[in-house]
Amino acid sequence: MDKTKSSTRMTEGPIWKRIIAFAIPLFLGNLFQQLYNTADSLIVGNFLGSDALAAVSSSGSLIFLLVGFFNGIAVGAGVVIARYFGAHDSENVQKSIHTTIAFGILSGILLTVIGLWLAPQILVWMGTPEDILVNSTIYFRIYFCGSLAFVLYNIFVGILQAVGDSRHPLIYLIISSIVNIVLDLLFVGVFHLGVGSAALATIISQFTSAVLCLIHLQKAPAEYRVSIRKIRIHFPLLKQIVNNGLPAGFQNSIIAFANVIVQSNINSFGKMAVAGCGAYSKIEGFGFLPITCFALALTTFISQNLGAKEYDRAKKGAKFGILCSICMAELVGIFIFVFSPTLIAAFNNDPQVIAYGTTQARTVTLFYFLLAFSHCLAGILRGAGKSTIPMFVMMICWCIIRVTYITIIVRFVPVINVIFWAYPLTWALSSICFLIYYKKADWLHAYE
């Protein structure tokens, strides 16, 4: 085996070094991704005002509702690729990769059509305030014109992460982030082209990172090299990808649907609440970075090691990843709790916007450890091929119970804090469910 190939395998070497070495570039990559997502809101909020910030913010849950499903399929593909990579099955690694790309092309085209067609109606169903509806629709529709770029980008990154390479996605995200921020400043700050130009900047940056990933994969080691002429659907592999990815995709969509319901309740408190909570959501994205990076690292680590039948190594890695994620998430949560007024003011200095954003931050941030635990257990189980378990736990806790709680309680106590408390309460419930399953189920031998 050559050095290039072995250097990305998580089935060899010290466990903590492999997980940290994979997670750090992943963390930095997600950080830059969050930076260019946040750039839209920062620049729009400061140059175009609170109405424009509210318009961008109101589209966030809706975007994730549609994108989340296809990203879940990409996660499932990564599990399949990582398993075959860990087992040194080069033929199925190749088939899995090219099937995933073919599926991504079809998905990107479909998502473009759905996004353009459904945008206005769903925003109306969400109760988006009328004075920001036009701008929200413009932002949403332009954003989804780039569906093919961000679907393929996530698939390419998923392939690289599945084989243990989190360094190159970091490099491409840094480039993409710089492109996005420069174009945001140019389109919005210099030419004053409005909220739609912020979405256009995001599209261009996504295409940039997708092309860079593709070029790299075309020059990668033979085991996971991409060849354009090989892109086709191998149906036995597609079945495996869908079986692993469909629950994750469905899970993302139902969580996003629940968040759309939550957003519609926030919308009822007016555009200042929308802007304030939207600003917090961008800050929250940074708080989630250690959570998501360790969850993804654990999915790859578990997939590769179970594929190689390294069961004891998988168990030790799971414990280490959970502990790291919880500690880092709570430290970030404390930081946001303390400095939330200053952080919210960076997006918009209207006192009402700051008040709403700070209230949400100081309600939920100290409970980030619960979110970290749930995401890590979900990542472990997905890596073990048990993706239906996270789907059902999160569907029940983060969708059904969360929406039911908000629908009933807000009717009797019409205070926005009631909505904010829905998050830590449902994170706690999901953590309990995951802990019970993790302790009792034999997830280690899922592939036998």
Q: Is 270 helix (H, G, I), strand (E, B) or coil?
A: coil
Tell the residue number behind the tokens 């050095």, with chain if given: 3
So what's the pLDDT on residue 427?
95
60-83 tens-digit pLDDT: 666 766 677 777 778 788 889 988
Domain boundaries, the chain: 12-445
**Cβ pair 51, 271 in contact under 8 A:** yes
Greatest CA span in the chain, whole angstroms? 65
- Report the C-alpha gap between 54 and 64 in whole angstroms: 17
22 Cα distance to chain centroid:
17
37-57 tens-digit pLDDT: 666 677 777 777 767 767 666
So what's the pLDDT on residue 357?
92
357-375 tens-digit pLDDT: 999 999 999 999 999 999 9
So what's the pLDDT on residue 161?
86
Angle at 74 between CA 73 and CA 75, to 5 degrees: 90
Which DSSP state fits 223?
A: G
So what's the pLDDT on residue 65?
66
**Residue numbers in the chain where pLDDT is lower than 70:** 1-8, 36-40, 50, 53, 55-62, 64-66, 126, 446-448
Find the length of the chain.
Answer: 448
